[in-house]
Structure 1
Amino acid sequence: MTQNIDKDLQRFKQIVRGKVRGNLRKYITHGEMLGRKGREVVSIPVPNIEIPHFRHGKKGSGGSGQGEGEVGQSLGPGEPEEGTGEAGNEAGRHIREVEVPLEELAAMLGEELVLPNIIPKGAETLVSQKDRYNSVRQVGPDSLRHFKRTYKKALKRQIATGQYNPSKPMVVPNRDDTVYKSWTTISEPQANAVILYLMDISGSMGEEQKEIVRTTAFWINAWISSQYNGLQKRYIVHDAMAHEVDEETFFRIRESGGTRISSAYGKAIQVLEQSYPVEDWNIYIFQFSDGDNWGDDNRECLNMLKDKLLPVCNLFCYGQVESPYGSGEYVRELMGLEDSWNNVALSLIEDKQGIYECIKDFLGTGK
């Protein structure tokens, strides 16, 4: 009975996962799970799943059916057509919250967008220390007592000395029989990554534009986290001046004034030089803007990219979010970099439907 229940549960989970996979593009573009995430799982709303079943008519209400019938025709007699009949008293269909591990969600994203796995750099230079219990010793605390080996050793001793009675089996370990788990500390290569998010918060970037950035960043984090042992995220906002902020502030702050993109690049350079040596870290920069920039600042931006940022980045991505108030000119300044730098990816995001292609433009490079 238990095995049948387990099989049914596994089958139901497969159906649910299939439902999530089938609607993944909708979740990507609309961000329906945002705000429902924990540290390791995400709650995704999916419609209730109807399992096919027979519906029996009333007792004695008819005989066997005759003829070919039509697709979808009811097997029961006299059932009212949809939308007719008296008011019902049953509950309607509800939305079910399904918890999906972030790792599994990232795998779905990779399959949906056909994303290549990332090959990290620096895997041999960052080292983490881990303790593994792979041996035993004669002394140790009771919490590390190895019961199986202790009783096996006691059994061997009793058999060798003739103390073991098969008809009345009893194994009593003594102090010499007791062994304890022991560990060795090993060093393992660890590939770490850092993401720098840069966003224009001038008056032309409205709430809709920020929601697009927030949704895109969620999926970027999910995929890159699945590719590295450790991931850190830093957030930089700017108008004419740049500031480093926390994640919540990054998506909520709004200011007005001019736009000077070079200020964000300067802050990014400062963060990297202080905390993330290029030989040890895989560095990703994702910049979002509506394309406005102070005219004389474009040349300074290109120089900072070529001299300081692009040489140290695994990937530099610029997403230009459509805004009725932005000029959209800055992406043209960056187009020439794609020909000379293979770690540059650009994407134009007209609305929420453009998030899907933006993620593919950014992460499809496999950098």
Structure 2
Amino acid sequence: MYIVDRRLNPSGKSLENRQRFLRRAKALVQSAVKKSSQSRDIKDVLEGGEVAIPLDGMNEPRFRREGGTRDMVLPGNKKFIEGDMLPRSGEGGGGKARQAGTGDSEDAFRFVLSREEFIDMFLDDLELPDLAKRRLASTEGEGIQRAGYTTSGSPANISINRTMQIAMARRVALRRPRARTLEELEAEAAAASGEYRAKLLEEIETLKAKMKRIPYIDPIDIRYRRFETMPKPVAQAVMFCLMDVSGSMSEHMKDLAKRFYMLLYVFLTRRYRHVDIVFIRHTDKAEEVDEETFFHGPASGGTLVSSALAAMNEIVRDRYRPSDWNIYAAQASDGDNLHADSELTGQLLTEMILPVTQFFAYLEVSEATVSVFDEMPDSSLWTLYERLRTNGATLSMRRVAERSQIYPVFHELFHRRQNQERVAP
């Protein structure tokens, strides 16, 4: 007898069992996550939720006796008697259906993932090509720093120098006799006689009594080093989104670019504690804008890619020093660019942008179908970047024509490779 538990995952289920299941069925769950993400809107792609995996992947090894004769009692039998022929599975009975209209199919196993579990599965086999951590300059962590002195604390934190300074100041203020003064008076009294000697001895006794009342070190003199938490620098990154918004860029192309940008942003936030994002759109001139304007604001004009690269270079110089920030850039375009602008574009990219960036990706988008897009001649911008790559420029290039290509392209760019070379900062 098989019992199928069709209840939803209760919140109190053992966390250890849940993690064990995710490890055992990782490949199936990860495949379901990738499939689920393709049908979601980009703003909801990493929000977690329910995924389904086939029951075939849930089978566990078990021992059973083979052969022999067994007597079994199957409850609920109202149809068959001894000697009847039972139909094969999938032909009127239970089990997995092979084609429509034949039997009942088995339900897929449905599993609810939290947002963190969904993201971990979604990005598990990806990594950044260069995770070099430059000088830290953010303020989101917590650290410990010295914060003066206190009158209470652990004996291990006693500040001897500070304690002796305060003790000396107290002795001076209260005019505590010095040991040297007593020694001089005792030597003088030993050489004196008569009434003068008695006077010196009386003064010596008075000073000794005062010395006992004013200790050399008093408990109020003791000081302890004080520590307090402070913002601790953590790794940070900035992501530049560059996009051509001239008349040749349709809403479909912008949507493809947006999906790629969002995947890159979510990916960076999994690797860095602090990520800034800068939107630069351009026609024949470039401007920094907010996200709404970047994707939906109207614009007109020609196409000069160098204007966007120059704007990025200026922003990096003013706000994001390469010594403090890990810089990533993604450029989306349909490939059009003024032929006279090619030389300046190549110069800005190779001399100003690539030397300070950890990663630069060029995404060429199109309205054409995949098959037509692959057969189209190379665009002017693609030809330029391909020539720069041939000459040693470290940039990645991909073409996209449909939404279903976004994740495969992203996965191809950031797929974890064995013995991957690290790019020196």
Q: Normalization by structure 2: what TM-score?
A: 0.58
User: Which residue pairs with 2:337 in the alignment?
Assistant: 293
Q: Which has the higher strand share?
A: 1
The superposition leaves residues 300-337 of structure 1 with CA deviations (integer Å, 9 ceiling, x where unpaired) of 11111122111111111111112459972211101122
Distance 2:234 2:261 in 1: 24
Moved more, 214-223 or 276-285: 214-223
- The structure-2 alpha-carbon separation of the partners of 1:98 and 1:139, relative to structure 1 and needing over 3 Å to count, comes to farther
Distance 1:7 1:106 in 2: 16
Count of residue correspondences:
303
Equivalent residue in structure 2 for 1:70, among 73, 80, 88: 88
- Residue 49 of structure 1 deviates from its aligned partner by 8.1
- The structure-2 alpha-carbon separation of the partners of 1:99 and 1:249, relative to structure 1 and needing over 3 Å to count, comes to farther
User: Which residue pairs with 1:215 in the alignment?
Assistant: 259
User: Which residue pairs with 2:406 in the alignment?
Assistant: 355
Aligned partner of residue 23 in structure 1, secondary structure: helix
User: Which residue pairs with 1:34 in the alignment?
Assistant: 42
Instruction: Decide whether the 8 Å contact of 1:33 with 1:42 is kept in 2.
Output: no
Instruction: Answer yes or no: is 1:6 the counterpart of 2:57.
Output: no
1:44-55 aligned within 5 A: 44=49, 46=51
State, as a whole percentage, how many aligned pairs show the same letter: 24
Equivalent residue in structure 2 for 1:60, among 42, 58, 78: 78
Distance 1:47 1:322 in 2: 33
The superposition leaves residues 5-30 of structure 1 with CA deviations (integer Å, 9 ceiling, x where unpaired) of 537983898499766521344355x3
Q: Kindly provide the amino acid, as one letter, of the partner of residue 120 in structure 1.
A: A
Equivalent residue in structure 2 for 1:344, among 395, 401, 407: 395
- Residue 279 of structure 1 deviates from its aligned partner by 0.5
Q: Kindly provide the amino acid, as one letter, of the partner of residue 203 in structure 1.
A: G
Equivalent residue in structure 2 for 1:130, among 142, 156, 160: 142
Instruction: Decide whether the 8 Å contact of 2:239 with 2:278 is kept in 1.
Output: yes
- The structure-2 alpha-carbon separation of the partners of 1:184 and 1:64, relative to structure 1 and needing over 3 Å to count, comes to farther
User: Which residue pairs with 1:163 in the alignment?
Assistant: none
The superposition leaves residues 77-105 of structure 1 with CA deviations (integer Å, 9 ceiling, x where unpaired) of xxxx9659xxxxxxxx9xx9955425751
Distance 1:64 1:4 in 2: 45
Distance 2:44 2:379 in 1: 33
The superposition leaves residues 26-51 of structure 1 with CA deviations (integer Å, 9 ceiling, x where unpaired) of 355x36142337xxx61456469889
Q: Kindly provide the amino acid, as one letter, of the partner of residue 108 in structure 1.
A: F
Instruction: Decide whether the 8 Å contact of 2:339 with 2:380 is kept in 1.
Output: no
Instruction: Decide whether the 8 Å contact of 2:29 with 2:53 is kept in 1.
Output: no
Instruction: Decide whether the 8 Å contact of 1:36 with 1:42 is kept in 2.
Output: yes
Instruction: Decide whether the 8 Å contact of 2:236 with 2:326 is kept in 1.
Output: yes
Equivalent residue in structure 2 for 1:334, among 382, 385, 404: 385
1:166-177 aligned within 5 A: none
Q: Which has the higher helix share?
A: 2
Instruction: Decide whether the 8 Å contact of 1:347 with 1:361 is kept in 2.
Output: no
Instruction: Decide whether the 8 Å contact of 2:238 with 2:326 is kept in 1.
Output: yes
Q: Kindly provide the amino acid, as one letter, of the partner of residue 101 in structure 1.
A: R
Q: Output the aligned Cα RMSD.
A: 4.5
Distance 1:45 1:244 in 2: 39
User: Which residue pairs with 1:204 in the alignment?
Assistant: 248
- The structure-2 alpha-carbon separation of the partners of 1:348 and 1:301, relative to structure 1 and needing over 3 Å to count, comes to same
Distance 2:140 2:131 in 1: 19
Structure having the higher Rg: 2
Aligned partner of residue 242 in structure 2, secondary structure: strand
Q: Kindly provide the amino acid, as one letter, of the partner of residue 42 in structure 1.
A: E
User: Which residue pairs with 2:210 in the alignment?
Assistant: none
Stretches of structure 1 that go unaligned for 5 or more consecutive residues are 85-92, 141-181
Q: Kindly provide the amino acid, as one letter, of the partner of residue 255 in structure 1.
A: A
Q: Kindly provide the amino acid, as one letter, of the partner of residue 411 in structure 2.
A: K
Instruction: Answer yes or no: is 1:238 the counterpart of 2:282.
Output: yes
Distance 1:298 1:3 in 2: 59
Distance 2:41 2:113 in 1: 10
The superposition leaves residues 250-282 of structure 1 with CA deviations (integer Å, 9 ceiling, x where unpaired) of 222343331111111121112111110011110
- Residue 241 of structure 1 deviates from its aligned partner by 1.7
- The structure-2 alpha-carbon separation of the partners of 1:58 and 1:127, relative to structure 1 and needing over 3 Å to count, comes to closer
User: Which residue pairs with 1:226 in the alignment?
Assistant: 270
Aligned partner of residue 43 in structure 2, secondary structure: coil
Distance 2:239 2:396 in 1: 15
Stretches of structure 2 that go unaligned for 5 or more consecutive residues are 1-9, 59-73, 145-149, 154-225
Distance 2:353 2:129 in 1: 23
- Residue 338 of structure 1 deviates from its aligned partner by 1.8
Instruction: Decide whether the 8 Å contact of 2:137 with 2:236 is kept in 1.
Output: no
Distance 1:349 1:247 in 2: 21
Equivalent residue in structure 1 for 2:363, among 316, 319, 342: 319
Q: Kindly provide the amino acid, as one letter, of the partner of residue 254 in structure 2.
A: K
- The structure-2 alpha-carbon separation of the partners of 1:349 and 1:122, relative to structure 1 and needing over 3 Å to count, comes to same
- The structure-2 alpha-carbon separation of the partners of 1:64 and 1:210, relative to structure 1 and needing over 3 Å to count, comes to farther
